[in-house]
Amino acid sequence: METIPLELQKRDVYGKKTKSLRREGVTPAHVFGHGVKSQALQGATTEIERVIAHAGKSRLIGLKIDGEKRARSVIVREVQRKPSSGLLYHVDFYQVRTKEKMTVEVPVHITGEAPALENTANKLEIELPELTVECLPTQLPSRLDVDISGLTGPNDAIRVKDLSLADGISVHNDPELVVVKIAVERKRGPEVEEAPAEEGEAVAAAETAGESEVEESSAASDD
């Protein structure tokens, strides 16, 4: 599988001082892994954003650290952003071992056209937008294609056990779980406009008063 290249530099600025890096268009980062010493890094925000957009959390990145001869195989482990603006705040990269299986979340990608969707009353529902996959880093798929061309009618579904996977790739999700299905869109009937509570109470009071007057009039005539 082709890796996405990324070049970062070693970082010697920590804590609150990293604010100055962000003002200069530089994002702090860390790389760590099983048996790997954690290392503080930094890189151009625009370049890191580009790599994150293409790699997500399921594609291998060839991380070249300034001063090192060989690139490291890493994946994006965590992305932190400033809530108010979405500004990239910090990125963690996890270094993988090429001969050691790993478990990651891989996005589901819909392919084909479902005959059932020719009926406008039907709609496609994606129950599992991501699946938990285990495989070697070199076999890691960027996405899992789910062909819906076999869905012909309402309630048709594709389950985890129905997926076609390449050799060496396994899915940890329950085999019986539905990945995608055809659902029938229920049409809502005309809504009956209800009178406001206060108005309803007033009407009830008026009706009660009317009944009382009728009873008194009837009693007077009896007298």
Mean pLDDT across the stretch 190-209? 52
Mean pLDDT across the stretch 70-82? 94
First to last CA, the chain: 102
Domains and CATH numbers, the chain: 4-95 (2.40.240.10), 102-184 (2.170.120.20)
Q: Measure the CA–CA gap between 65 and 8, rounded to whole angstroms.
A: 5
Q: Measure the CA–CA gap between 152 and 117, rounded to whole angstroms.
A: 8
The predicted pLDDT at position 13 comes to: 87
Mean pLDDT across the stretch 202-207? 50
CA torsion sign, 5 to 11 to 15 to 20? negative
The first and second tokens of residue 88, run together, are 């990239």
Three-class SS state of 198: helix
Residue keyed to tokens 């979340």: 105
pLDDT digits (tens, 9 = 90+) for 31-63: 999 888 999 999 999 999 999 999 988 899 999
pLDDT digits (tens, 9 = 90+) for 10-26: 999 898 889 899 999 99
- In terms of Cβ atoms closer than 10 Å to its own Cβ (0-12, 13-18, 19+), residue 76 is buried
Cβ 5 vs Cβ 48: under 8 Å: no
Nearest residue to 23 via CA among 74, 84, 87, 70? 87
Higher per-residue pLDDT: 117 or 199: 117
The predicted pLDDT at position 58 comes to: 87
Instruction: Mention every residue, 6+ apart, whose C-beta is less than 8 A from residue 127.
Output: 177, 178, 179, 180, 181
| pTM (2 d.p.) | 0.70
Instruction: Mention every residue, 6+ apart, whose C-beta is less than 8 A from residue 41.
Output: 8, 9, 10, 11, 28, 29, 30, 31, 65, 93
Q: Tell how many helices (H) and how many strands (E) occur in the chain.
A: 3, 13
